[in-house]
């Protein structure tokens, strides 16, 4: 049986070990960030990975993109599964334009969070 990925193949992902290195944290901390809703992970090719867009690497070291944890929390509180959140974040939305994740990365996280609140409740 083949594994069906939550995200399309064009979404770049990083193994948890690489995310830990970029964040200068142990792997256990990355798993805790996922549990706490600061990041989301998925399985790809039998490996736990995190979308690369979830990290802002423009500074001296990487950090979680501003606005992402709040958006994840709103959607989780609204009953969305992590897989549904991942799909929504990386699905084109003509009214943004682009994907919600691209808007978060561009600093428009408040607008994305408003849309998430409207969807979730």
Q: In this predicted model, what pLDDT tens digit does every residue of 46-99 receive, in sequence order?
A: 899 999 999 998 767 799 999 999 999 999 999 999 999 999 999 998 888 899
Over the stretch 10-46, which tens digit does the pLDDT of each residue have? 999 999 999 999 999 999 999 999 999 999 999 998 8
Over the stretch 87-106, which tens digit does the pLDDT of each residue have? 999 999 888 889 999 999 99
- Burial call 98-121: b when 16+ CB within 10 Å, e when fewer: ebbbbbbbeeebebbbebbeeeee
Contact predicate 52/13, CB 8 Å: yes
pLDDT of residue 36: 95
- pTM (2 d.p.): 0.90
- Check the CA dihedral 13-17-22-23 and report its sign: positive
Q: Where are the domains of the chain?
A: 13-120
Q: Pick the residue with more confidence: 72 or 2?
A: 72
């Amino acid at each position: 049986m083949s594994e069906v990925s939550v995200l399309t193949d064009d979404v770049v992902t990083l193994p948890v070990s690489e995310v830990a290195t970029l964040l200068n944290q142990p792997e256990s901390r990355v798993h805790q960030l996922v549990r706490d809703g600061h990041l989301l992970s998925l399985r790809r090719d039998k490996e736990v990975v995190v979308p690369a867009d979830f990290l802002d690497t423009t500074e001296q070291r990487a950090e979680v993109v501003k606005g992402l944890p709040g958006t994840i929390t709103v959607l989780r509180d609204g009953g969305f599964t992590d897989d549904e959140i991942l799909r929504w974040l990386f699905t084109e939305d003509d009214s943004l334009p682009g994907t919600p994740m691209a808007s978060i990365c561009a600093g428009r996280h408040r607008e994305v969070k408003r849309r998430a609140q409207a969807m979730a409740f």
